[in-house]
Amino acid sequence: MKNIFTLIEHRRGEIRNISFELLTKARELSEKTGGKVTALLLGHQTQTFINEIKSSAHRIIVIEDEKLKDFNSEYYKTVLSNILTTEKPFLTLIGHTAFGIDIAPALGSKLNIPVSTDCIGIEIDNNVVATRQMYGGKLNATINFKDSSQFLLTIRQGAFTVSETNLSTEVTNIPSPLKEDLAEIKFLEYIEAATGGVDITKANIVIGIGRGVKEQENLKIIEDFAQAIGGVVGCSRPVADSGWLPKDRQVGSSGKTIKPKLYIAMGISGASQHISGMKGSETIIAINKDPNAPIFNEANYGIVDDLFKVIPALKKKIEELKQ
């Protein structure tokens, strides 16, 4: 029987959306394979989580332990190894999140289960066939696995859309295998990043800049344009990494999620981490030299041209219009 397990991800008392995305995909796959979907819930004070997941899976396996309250790869790996070894699910799905990235590769290696990461598509025949992206989203790759009785995939956030369902769910409590404190990794605390003067999540118009801006000196041109159009300047990861803009201007999965009326992506190629932070914008316009940049797959309108030729022309038109 090709059973599918999904790992429930929660943080600070809340289930993260990826958990429902994984359950949705698992149910879709199980309809074809005839296997059952099991949600793995590791945590402390799990009752509210159980209520939330109930009806989304055929079964929930709950491991309740105070040591599992916050994510700790050492504890989670120990517990998950235990379960995957005894239950032997055909396929295990974990989110490709800071949590899943940390635990999945080592877990697979420990249990000798083949792993592929950041997958956006899954097919099941005798084995598993996965689709994932390479080269910053410019290409997709079909991934085949060596023969195995178990597979482990991490799944990109937002790759699958959550759907509602109403399954009757069996809840199985398994006693925690954690007998003593493990000593190597100790979770201390969560820290909220400091915020500066500009809140890009509240702006109507955001100009997002990426690597294509090339030099810090060019920032002035962008700032002037943003002022002309009445927007604020946000950025993709490389710009924040270089220190050209503060970290709180970074749009993307590890930064801010924004939903402005208008987002203009300038010189941003469109890595998935960035896309997930801006795809909710009402109108997206992308300006990029590379006609195949993945950003054009997300934008409503595109301009394939040199950024620094487009900006002055555009600024002039906008200023004319405003007069």
Partner 1 sequence: MDSIVCIKRVPQTTDLEIKIDSSGKDIQKDRLTFDINESDSYAIEEAIRLKEKLGGTVTLVSIGEIGNDDIIRMGLAKGADSAIRIEYSDELDGFATAQLLKNTIKDLKFDIIFTGCMAQDDGYSMVGQTLAELLGIPYASLVVKLDVENNLATINRELEGSLIEKSEIKLPALFTIQTGINEPRYASLMAIRKATGKEIKITDAKNTELTKNTTITKLFTPPPSKQAEILAGTTEEKAVKMTEILKEKGVL
Please choose, out of 45-53, 54-62, 142-150, 166-174, the segment that lies near partner 1 by the rule CB under 8 A.
142-150
Among 43, 89, 208, 302, binds partner 1 (CB under 8 A): 302
Q: How far is the CB of 190 from partner 1 (least distance, A)?
A: 6
283 φψ region: left (φ > 0), alpha (ψ -120 to 50), beta (else) = beta
Element (H, E) at 199: none
Interaction between residue 170 and partner 1 (CB under 8 A) = no
Determine the Cα–Cα distance for residues 41 and 46; give it in Å rounded to an integer. 8
> Beta partners for 133?
140
Determine the Cα–Cα distance for residues 36 and 15; give it in Å rounded to an integer. 22
Q: CA angle at residue 124 from 109 to 160, to 5 degrees?
A: 85
Could you tell me which of 15, 155, 20, 140 has the C-alpha nearest to residue 93?
Answer: 155
Longest dimension (CA), the chain: 73
For partner 1, the closer of residues 34 and 191 by Cβ is 191
Among 198, 211, 219, 221, binds partner 1 (CB under 8 A): 211
For partner 1, the closer of residues 27 and 256 by Cβ is 256
Interaction between residue 118 and partner 1 (CB under 8 A) = yes
Interaction between residue 38 and partner 1 (CB under 8 A) = no
Q: Is 53 helix (H, G, I), strand (E, B) or coil?
A: helix
Could you tell me which of 308, 296, 264, 268 has the C-alpha nearest to residue 282?
Answer: 264
CB atoms near residue 287 (< 10 Å): 25
Residue 54-73 contact track with partner 1, rule CB under 8 A, x = bound? -----------------xxx
Interaction between residue 269 and partner 1 (CB under 8 A) = yes
What residues between 11 and 30 interact with partner 1 by CB under 8 A?
11, 16
Among 14, 66, 85, 134, binds partner 1 (CB under 8 A): 134
Interaction between residue 257 and partner 1 (CB under 8 A) = yes
What residues between 83 and 102 interact with partner 1 by CB under 8 A?
96-99, 101-102
What residues between 215 and 254 interact with partner 1 by CB under 8 A?
229-230, 237-238, 240-241, 243, 247-248, 253-254
Give residue for tokens 């509602």: 164
